[in-house]
Chains A and B, each alone.
Chain A
Amino acid sequence: MKKIIMSFLGVISILTFSLGFIYAWVINSENINPNITGKTESAYFESGDGTEDSPYIISNKTHIYNFAWLQYLGMFNHESSTTGYYETIYFKLKNDIDCDGLTIPAIGTTANPFVGVFDGGGFVISNINVTNRYSQLTLKPGSVEKLDNASIIGFFGVIGKYDNESGYNIVSTSDGKLITSVSNFYLENIRVNVTSGQILAGIIAGYVNANISNIGVEYSSFDFATQASALKSKISNYALIGDYNSDDGVDWSDKPGTSIGFGGSIDITSLSKRVTYIAANAGKGTDSTNTSYTYDSAIYNSHFYTTRSSTNPGYDWTVSGETQTIAFEEGTYLPLNIDLTTANVSNNNTNTNAYYDGKNAEPILNSNVGYIVGNSSTGNTSVRLTHKKADKSSSGIVNSIYTQQAGNDTTDMDEMFASKNYSLFYINSSGTSYRITDNDNLNLSYTKHNDNKIDSSNFSNYSYVKSQFIDSLKDSVTEEYFSSNGKIVLNGILLRKGNASSISFKDFSNVKINNITYDTYKMAEGGINYSLSQNGNLSLICGTFASSSSNHTFYDFYEIDRTTDSSSPSAKKIYKIYKNSSSGDVKYTYDSSSTVTDSGYELKFDLASLNSSAQLYANCAYYMEIPFKSGDYFITNIGVSASNSPYLLYLDVGANASTTGETDATISKIDFVYKVNNSIVKVNDDGYTASNVLYSIEGTTTLEVVIYYRRIQNDGVLYYYESIDGLTMTTIGSGSTSKASSNACESKES
């Protein structure tokens, strides 16, 4: 038995040895070490070197990622050692980019703001998240272990320089030319995620101190974390952008809800509200018997004086008589441009305003271009401010647009415009007159200034001019206050200096014009003093209201010369205005007979003729663009009766020109946009209709808050939030609808 076992084990041993031998042989293996090396060139974008001629081309989501992070890391902020200015890096979007849920930090921070030029080419960036919550950045550079300086957030964070305390000047080249610009792109399905703590948030940008334009947002949302609060006064001032440098030269001329007209540098409706607030707090009190009370409004940084009487008891926005007039007496000087947002000037149909109630000085903008200066309280020697319900039964200022309705029973301006019963004229910067009025049957003789009727068939900008014209005339006072059918209030100023042709100057203290503050500054009395820092147009709308067309006058314009003796300026009346179209230079004549014969100069405006020859129709509104060269000016009416001076309904000093210096920037055409047939309608597309709404958000969140926005073509901007704990969202402008569920905002169907 033992032998058997031993033999068996022996056989097993031999077999096992053989198997091992065979296996080792059969599984024969070899290793090859490839003799390969590689080399990659460092680059972040599709092409380009970042120069103006060869911008960095961004064509996919990786490039978007690189753009955001390299900006965060400060790779594009190269400050020139010789000039001290940033070098400008240029970027260009090549095509639509679906970011497929990519999460990036905001492009530009307080430490490394975006100071280049980004041209979106009209393309769409979709499905992207922006965050300043580090934990949400699933893909990030290995060297970034936390997010710094990211409290200002949007797709772009900070555009142009930002300083939390004093604010930086706008970034420009050494020759003063502004170049920082972000323009021409669209965001679709973007979410801005905001961490707790102090923040400033916008969808397009957190803070703007540069040019931005032609940017649309189709569908968007904010996600505010618990305990999110404002870096400054509000979490977001306008939703589309968090805030902008309104104090130091960034002009947002088409900002919804606050501006009117073609540039809105002077908002007469808001002026009327300001006067109401000051009157309510500067001494009017409840004394209705004192007939000679003078307002002392010096505390407001704006001064006006008027004498109360039984027929002119003061200035009251909500007066039941539906008409209010105030005369600015000698000593009055009201700045044309204040920060309306800070002062909370709005059309809220009340005489109270917490900002004014608190005796806060009016926040005069550095970009303020001038002052209304009073003269007298009586008749044809007074500068008067009027607001009046626009109804065909009214007279005075309302005749500017109403008398020509020829028996039509239209009862408000909206209906009047719908029925084409209005009389509007447009005189362009070449002095050519056009009739915008749609109704050929209006009672006009068409003989005064060779006016040609224009419409969309013969004037490419007809729709724009007309719509802006009408918008400039309208004031969005709601109809709740006025008990009758009218819902529109017209606001205007009469500038009447009396018969004296000499111009008198008066010293005024603490005057701020074009970013310069003067302890004492002489201004002409009885009209508007304004200053143009560059050549440009003075745009205005004036309304003629006299019953007779034969005696209507236009304004008198004076050029103020401070160069000879700044302590004793002189005024020269302007008769004719000539312009060299090639150089842009403008020349005047200062008497009735002189002409400019220099080569290249053409007569654009004959102010004297327009004034003296009854060139203006009665009962019409005129929009004019009058070219002026840089300098100081005074506008008034001399030697007119109470009824033949036109009402100034709208005034824009320096349209198409910079008003505060060469480094001015503008914000324009940023909007909530909509889709038609699943394609975004661009802000410059034919038929695009702009919205008129923004949102301000303030407070401190107690829970996480998500707010959705989406614009529908005919339904305005829809918004939805389940709960807005701790926050207050205020609508700026009109055309906004709260939805009961997120579906209406989240749906992508058009």
Chain B
Amino acid sequence: MKKFNLITSIISLVLSLCLVINLAFAWFSNNKSASSNSTVSVIDKEEIVSEVLYYTVSSNEDNTITLKENLGSGSSNYEMAKYSILNDNIDTIIMAVKLNSNTSLDLSLKTSLTADDYTKLIGYDSEDETTGIKSTNNSLSSVLKFSVLSVESLGTNTITYTSMDYSSFIDTTNNSVSNKEYSNISSYNNYVFIAFDYDKDLIEYLYNKNLGNDNLSNSDGYLTYICDFYVEIKGGE
């Protein structure tokens, strides 16, 4: 009987511990600091990201990106220029994530787009039956490519990188959509840079799948895309 009570106690303890761990994890994941009025103890959790700014690009040659503005003077949001298949211009933008400390981290780009929807232009499919108004906010994930830069050096308005390998959320060959994860990314002078650009192949794929779509057949028109992904940063050290 005593042996039974002991086992019961151990199980209760384990369950209690699990509960405590989860509560602690959840609390600290969503709060930057904890304090108590009744005690002197205050714990502060340091924020990883100090600032996020966007820069347009003047040139990208010899592994060096020249920004149109100096680092630190970018915009807090960005509307990418209108992509034209006819002109095939590169419209790279740089998202500069300034960290509070120079560190290494894990970075993920996660999209809400699914394999069932990535070929759809919802501007065509989501016409409001009552109003007749068409939404033109399509998935930016469906036409975008991105690269987390491996930075070699920084200038006032230049970023020299060792590699710039673009990825996208969509694999048209396997008809799949997946998040992209980058491990142990080292910041440079507290910065992590992510380059975004239109993916020509994805746009053409999307267009091909939507030949005959009313939005596409209007040569004077254009399609807009809203951001349907986020960047998750997990701080290390």
Interface residues of A (CB under 8 A from B): 5, 9, 12-13, 16-17, 19-21, 23-25, 27-47, 49, 62, 65-66, 69-70, 73, 75, 139-144
Contact = CB atoms under 8 A, between A and B. Distances in A.
Given A21-B24, A29-B235, A33-B230, A39 B80 contact: yes
A123 B187 CA distance: 51
8 contacts: A9-B9, A16-B20, A17-B24, A31-B231, A40-B225, A44-B211, A47-B86, A140-B209
Interface string B79-100: 1111111100000010101000
Contact of A32 (B16, B209, B216, B230): B230
Interface SS of B by simple majority: mixed
Given A9-B13, A35-B78, A38-B224, A29 B208 contact: no
Interface of B: 6, 9-10, 13, 16-17, 20-22, 24-29, 45-49, 52, 54, 76-86, 93, 95, 97, 119-120, 140, 143-144, 196, 198, 203-204, 207-213, 215-219, 221-227, 229-235
Contact of B232 (A9, A31, A42): A31
A70 B49 CA distance: 48
Given A37-B225, A141-B208, A28 B48 contact: yes
B51 to A, nearest CB: 11
Contacts of B144: 38
Nearest to B201: A62
Contact of B80 (A19, A38, A43): A38
A40 B25 contact: no
A20 B215 CA distance: 52
Given A25-B45, A66-B207, 17 more contacts: A16-B17, A16-B20, A27-B29, A30-B47, A31-B230, A33-B231, A35-B76, A36-B140, A39-B223, A40-B85, A42-B223, A65-B208, A66-B211, A139-B208, A141-B210, A141-B211, A142-B210
A21 B48 CA distance: 18
B86 A38 contact: no
A172 B27 CA distance: 77
Contacts of B207: 42, 44, 66
A36 B227 CA distance: 6
Contact of B48 (A30, A41, A49, A73): A30
Given A24-B28, A33-B227, A38 B54 contact: no
B204 A62 contact: yes
B24 A75 contact: no
A9 B22 CA distance: 19
Contacts of B24: 17, 20-21, 24
B47 to A, nearest CB: 7
A144 B227 CA distance: 29
Contacts of B119: 142
A30 to B, nearest CB: 5
Contacts of B29: 24, 27-29
Contacts of A5: 6
Given A34-B95, A37-B227, A43 B219 contact: yes
Nearest to B229: A34
Interface centre among A17, A36, A62, A141 (most CB of B within 10 A): A36
A16 B10 CA distance: 14
Contact of B212 (A19, A38, A73, A139): A73
Interface SS of A by simple majority: mixed
Contact of B86 (A9, A43, A70): A43
Nearest to B219: A42
A186 to B, nearest CB: 25
Contact of B231 (A17, A21, A34, A141): A34
B226 to A, nearest CB: 6
Interface centre among A32, A34, A38, A62 (most CB of B within 10 A): A38
Task: List 8 A-B pairs, minimum CB-CB distance, nearest first.
Answer: A35-B77, A20-B21, A38-B225, A24-B25, A141-B211, A24-B28, A32-B231, A29-B234
A37 B97 CA distance: 18
A45 B234 CA distance: 43
A55 B201 CA distance: 23
A395 B77 CA distance: 96
Nearest to A14: B17
Nearest to B204: A62
A27 B10 CA distance: 29
Nearest to A33: B230
B134 to A, nearest CB: 14
A5 B213 CA distance: 72
Interface centre among B22, B25, B28 (most CB of A within 10 A): B28
A9 B15 CA distance: 13
B208 A37 contact: no
Interface centre among B97, B229, B235 (most CB of A within 10 A): B235
Contacts of A23: 21, 25
A459 B208 CA distance: 52
Given A28-B235, A139-B208, A40 B95 contact: no
Nearest to A144: B212
Contacts of B83: 38-41
Contacts of B16: 13
A66 B20 contact: no
Contacts of A46: 85-86
Contacts of B93: 36
